[in-house]
């Protein structure tokens, strides 16, 4: 069954052109597509000065930041391309199996998948903030860093509606249809609710566990680019640790039980990389190197505050951009 609405509900190429013209999209070209439940939006930003962020709205539109003749032309081409994708027409010349080492930086398609949805928001932080909100802010900051670095074809995938298995499959399908070179799913970590403890914050009861902190990276041996997925995960872990961050080992099946949450084989004990096998659909359904990144423990009261800071988001974004740069420049085996 097609995940897209009936043909009558899809935008025509002419409508897409008219939208681009009417909105005066300039230096920030934007791709947007909605499906029936679940809804998935993909936003592509082509910055001239690398200074803007996606501003998602309830109607799934993204507001442009500046205008120029060059930008308008880019936006029209993007809108036409996106409408064609919505109708099942391939607009990507590069096969999904292509690797970024053969491309100019500006043509490398990095997908930043915002973990969870507005209605299936994931873990709740120690101060009552939805994981989805953390994920969105970090993904936006990583997008800004990547586009500033020259990876101007980077795109964000945002899913609206219930966080179901089907919605997760749609994320991979979008990346596959776009012929993406790299897929990064952005998340923040937590634990099972029954292991949390109550505390008072701003006059309200919230729930926390300060026992664990740190990032983790997840790959899947079922991904058809597993070795490249693992290579990128190693590169990213190295950059994160070079920034002073540390990883968590509480998911390690050899030293922990499932009391606190998912456990899995720790395939790289020097870098905090786990094998998700067939437990994370976006990793094994994506036909390009794919990594799920848990940026830190938002149920840890101290780490939550750090993760909320612009400084930490900037440090993580810089590490991700550097990892992408290194990964796409050389694919030498890592030990």
Both 78 and 137 in one domain: the answer is no
pLDDT value of residue 279? 83
What is the C-alpha to C-alpha distance for residues 133 and 130, in angstroms, rounded to an integer?
5
Answer yes or no: are the C-beta atoms of 229 and 293 closer than 8 Å: no
- Which pLDDT score is estimated for 239? 98
Q: Is residue 52 part of a domain?
A: yes
Strand ranges of the sheet holding 266-268, from the earlier edge strand across to the other edge: 39-44, 155-160, 110-117, 182-189, 290-297, 216-219, 273-275, 266-268
81, 150: one domain? no
| Alpha-carbon distances, residue 261 vs 42, 123, 194, 212, 249 (angstroms) | 30, 12, 10, 12, 12
- Let me know whether 79 and 227 are in one domain: no
Query: Per residue in 94-120, pLDDT tens?
Result: 333 347 988 999 999 999 999 998 888
Q: For residues 53 and 213, which has the higher predicted lDDT (pLDDT)? A: 213
- Nearest Cα residue to 223 out of 273, 281, 174, 157: 281
| 76 & 138 share domain | no
Helical segments of the chain, H only: 13-23, 69-86, 131-149, 165-177, 226-242, 281-284, 301-307, 310-329
Write down the pLDDT at residue 208. 98
- Residue 92: the pLDDT is 35
Instruction: Kindly tell me the burial class for residue 144, based on how many C-beta atoms sit within 10 Å of its own C-beta (0-12, 13-18, 19 or more).
Output: buried
Q: Output the pLDDT for position 43.
A: 56
Q: Quick one: average pLDDT of 180-199?
A: 96
Q: What is the pLDDT of residue 270?
A: 96
Q: How confident is the model at residue 228 (pLDDT cuts 50, 70, 90)?
A: very high
Give the CA count within 13 Å in the CB-facing half-sphere of 216: 24
Q: Which residue has the higher pLDDT, 162 or 307?
A: 307
Instruction: Provide the mean pLDDT of the chain.
Output: 78
Residue 42's domain comprises 1-91
The answer to whether residue 335 sits within a structural domain is no
Among 193, 187, 209, 168, CA closest to 261: 193
Share of residues in the chain with pLDDT > 90 (%):
60
Judgement on whether residues 56 and 130 belong to the same structural domain of the protein: no
114, 156 Cβ separation under 8 angstroms: yes
How many separate domains does the chain show?
A: 2
Residue 123 has pLDDT above 50, yes or no: yes
Tell me the pLDDT band of 168, cut-offs 50, 70 and 90.
Answer: confident
Question: With contact defined as beta carbons under 8 Å apart, do 187 and 292 qualify?
Answer: yes
Asked whether the predicted pLDDT for residue 85 surpasses 50, the reply is no
Each residue's pLDDT tens digit, 124-164:
999 999 999 999 999 999 999 999 999 999 999 998 887 88
Residue 194 has pLDDT above 60, yes or no: yes
User: How big, in percent rounded to 5, are the helix, strand and coil portions of the chain?
Assistant: 35, 20, 45
Model confidence at 304: pLDDT above 60? yes
Indicate whether 184 belongs to any domain. yes
Helix residue ranges, H only, 187-330: 226-242, 281-284, 301-307, 310-329
* Cα–Cα distance measured from residue 164 to residue 147, given in angstroms and rounded to the nearest whole number: 30
Report the C-alpha gap between 244 and 249 in whole angstroms. 17
- The answer to whether residues 48 and 108 belong to one domain is no
Q: What's the pLDDT score for residue 325? A: 95
86, 163: one domain: no
Q: Write down which residue in 73, 91, 109 finishes a domain.
A: 91
Q: What pLDDT, on a 0 to 100 scale, did the predictor assign at position 44?
A: 52
Give domain status of residue 172, yes or no.
yes
Position 139 scores a pLDDT of: 97
Q: For position 221, which CATH number holds?
A: 3.40.630.40
* H helix or E strand, kind and range, residue 276: none
Tell me if 334 is assigned to some domain: no
């Amino acid at each position: 069954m097609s995940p897209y609405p009936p043909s009558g509900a899809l935008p025509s190429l002419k409508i897409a052109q008219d939208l681009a013209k009417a909105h005066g999209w300039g230096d920030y070209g934007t791709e947007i597509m909605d499906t029936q439940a679940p809804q998935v939006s993909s936003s592509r930003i082509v910055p001239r000065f690398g200074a803007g962020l996606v501003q998602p709205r309830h109607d799934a539109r993204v507001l442009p930041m500046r205008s120029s003749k060059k930008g308008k032309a880019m936006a029209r081409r993007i809108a036409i391309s996106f409408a064609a994708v919505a109708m099942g027409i391939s607009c990507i010349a590069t096969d999904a199996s292509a690797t970024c080492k053969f491309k100019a930086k500006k043509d490398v398609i990095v997908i930043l998948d915002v973990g969870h949805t507005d209605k299936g928001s994931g873990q709740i932080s120690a101060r009552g903030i939805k994981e989805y909100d953390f994920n969105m802010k970090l993904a936006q900051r990583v997008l800004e860093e990547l586009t500033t670095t020259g990876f101007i074809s980077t795109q964000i995938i945002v899913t609206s509606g219930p966080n179901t298995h089907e919605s997760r499959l749609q994320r991979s399908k979008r990346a596959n249809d776009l012929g993406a070179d790299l897929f990064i799913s952005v998340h923040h970590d937590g634990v099972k609710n029954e292991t949390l403890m109550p505390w008072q914050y701003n006059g309200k009861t919230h729930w926390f566990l300060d026992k664990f902190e740190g990032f983790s990276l997840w790959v899947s041996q079922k991904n058809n680019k597993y070795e490249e997925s693992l290579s990128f995960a190693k590169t990213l872990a190295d950059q994160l640790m070079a920034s002073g961050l540390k990883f968590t080992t509480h998911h390690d099946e050899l030293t922990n039980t499932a009391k606190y949450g998912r456990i899995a084989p720790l395939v790289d004990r020097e870098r905090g990389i786990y094998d998700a096998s067939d437990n994370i659909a976006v990793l094994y359904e994506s036909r390009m190197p794919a990594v799920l990144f848990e940026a830190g423990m938002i149920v840890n009261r101290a780490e939550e505050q750090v993760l909320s800071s612009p400084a930490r988001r900037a440090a993580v974004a810089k590490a991700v951009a550097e990892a992408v740069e290194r990964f796409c420049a050389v694919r030498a085996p890592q030990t």
